[in-house]
Structure 1
Amino acid sequence: MTKTQRLLELVQLLRCHRYPVTAQQLADQLGISVRTVYRDIICLQQQGVEIEGSAGLGYLLKSDGHLPPLMFSRHEIDALALGLDWVSRHTDAELKSAAQHALAKIQAVLPEHLTHTLEHQSLLVASRGEALFETHLPEIRQAIHTRNKITLRYTDLKEMTSTRTLWPVVLGYFDRVRLLCGWCELRQDFRNFRVDRIQEIVVSNELYPGTRYQLLKRWKDYQQARYPDYR
């Protein structure tokens, strides 16, 4: 591995960590000495890469926007193509279009030999999902991003219909079900709703309190308390 390759790998490892990572951890993953990690971090900092931290405390990448994008490996291309193919086959028209545009952007920056890999994939996704999965999904995703409350008219598995006001936080894509998770004002607790059983949805102009990230953390803590093995 050349020094340039090693520096790019180091930046990529730092990108993968949201919290400070020690030089020893970085050295173990790169197969180099801790001393070399220290030298490489200083080198990157001198080139303008914003890496915060120090020996013993760990390092955190704050910004690398001035660097050229890292090239994808064959395995990364396989993962991206497989994921985007799944999105284009098993979600609604809005996300399908987004997946196709993303794939085109990726293809535009790849060298010819990797473009060939992307165009001739051997990893395939099952056929198109059922149309019932497309209903209401764009409105739900928009409400999640903008923190708008939503009101549902919902029919449960016992065929009982109710109206709920929800703070939407997560949209789960399962094989046979799309699941909306959020804070239910009626129950004063987190609840799950199958999207195909939503009869009507109205996105309110009213925002729920706090930030989306705070609500997401509350939901994750709730999941962790109920299901200790949840990640």
Structure 2
Amino acid sequence: MVELARLRAAIRAQRRLDIVYADAAGRRSRRVIWPVQIVFMDSAHVLAAWCELRQAFRTFRTDRILGAVEGARYPANRAELMRCLHGHLGLSARADC
């Protein structure tokens, strides 16, 4: 499992992360993501990120992120990604992302 401090550092630095992720069944996959926000849920911490593979926002339980390698800075502005993420989640009226 990757420490939350490393994920927060990647968010602040606007760095891509190449992650190894395990789904609920234990199947592993690799993704390159642009981390945007950590959300604290009742039973888990969740990383909201733009997924380069899916070309969409996805959420990743932090306890299922098995490894992460920091990469180059992603090209988008984090504040703009946050607005788009909130629109995607229905938390704002933003629909042009």
TM over 0.5: yes
Q: In 1, Cα distance between the equivalents of 2:41 and 2:84?
A: 22
Structure 1 gaps, min length 5: 1-131, 225-229
**Of 159, 163, 169, the match for 2:26:** 159
1:160 CA drift (Å): 1.1
Trace 1:199-214 onto structure 2 (pairs within 5 A): 199-204=66-71, 206-214=72-80
Q: When the two structures are aligned, how many residues end up with a matched partner?
A: 92
CA distance in 1, matches of 2:66, 2:77: 28
Structure 1 residue 175, shift from structure 2 partner: 2.3
Which of the pair is proportionally richer in helix? 1
What's the CA shift for 1:147? 0.5
Distance 2:8 2:54 in 1: 22
1:217 to 74, 83, 96: 83
Deviation at 1:210, TM superposition (A): 2.4
Q: Which has the larger radius of gyration?
A: 1
Q: Which residue of 2 aligns with 1:116?
A: none
Q: CA deviation at 1:203?
A: 1.2
CA RMSD in angstroms comes to 1.4
Distance 2:41 2:88 in 1: 20
Residues 180 and 194 of structure 1 are in contact (CA less than 8 Å); yes or no, is this contact kept in structure 2?
yes
The answer to whether structure 1 residue 181 and structure 2 residue 39 are counterparts is no
Distance 1:187 1:165 in 2: 10
Alignment of 1:27-46 (within 5 A): none
**TM-score (structure 1 length as normaliser):** 0.38
Greater strand proportion: 2
Cα distance between partner residues in 1 of 2:25 and 2:57? 20
- Contact 1:179 / 1:192 at 8 angstroms: preserved in 2? yes
